Structure 1
């Protein structure tokens, strides 16, 4: 599947930021940091991952979900993808 390289670069950047945030959370756990700060960072990681997932879905929606034979959308598959982020 060929997704828009410009959009996928944005997704990759978002994932790299989330990776850095997650590394910070691991350090916080190791160092016994305040739980409020850890939860705040975990929330930020979660939001970043969700946004990256939604960006991939929205960018590749047609390619991911449209049946090449008849051009129809697989609504059940679309719903399942979106609900996977709930």
Structure 2
């Protein structure tokens, strides 16, 4: 499970909801969930390793698309709004985005 920062995000309006893309993300995540179940079946049925690896690659790419979309929306809204407002919040949001990018690159 992902580490949370407690109440740091309480009351925060998530930009993907404001942009009406929540449904798109949920649709993609449900598709990825189906891919994961398909991978489990492939392993249970002892299918060819290369075919399993190909499906893992496709699922990884699908997760990356979701992650990059969320990151893009976070940068375009949460970070931009916080920086425009000035003060320490802008620096906090920039650091959050930088940390998220670092995690994505490492994974």
Specify if TM > 0.5.
yes
* SS of alignment partner, residue 32 of structure 1: coil
Q: Which runs of 5+ in 1 are unaligned?
A: none
Report what 1:9 is aligned to: 23
Partner of 1:75: 94
TM-score (normalizing by structure 2): 0.67
Whether the 8 Å contact between 1:25 and 1:38 is mirrored in structure 2 is yes
Alignment size in residue pairs = 86
Matches within 5 A, 1:44-63: 44-61=58-75, 62-63=77-78
CA–CA separation in structure 1 for the residues paired with 2:57 and 2:99: 23
Q: Structure 2 regions of 5+ residues with no counterpart?
A: 1-12
Structure with the greater relative contact order (CA < 8 A, sep ≥ 6): 1 or 2? 1
Question: Judging changes above 3 Å, is the alpha-carbon distance between structure 1 residues 27 and 41 closer, same or farther for their aligned structure 2 residues?
Answer: same
CA deviation after TM superposition for structure 1 residue 2, in Å = 3.0
Comparing 42-51 and 65-74, the one that deviates more: 65-74
Query: Are residues 1:84 and 2:99 paired?
Result: no
Deviations 1:12-62 (A, max 9, x none): 111111111111000000010001110011111111111111111212333
Secondary structure of the 2:47 match is coil
TM-score (norm 1): 0.80
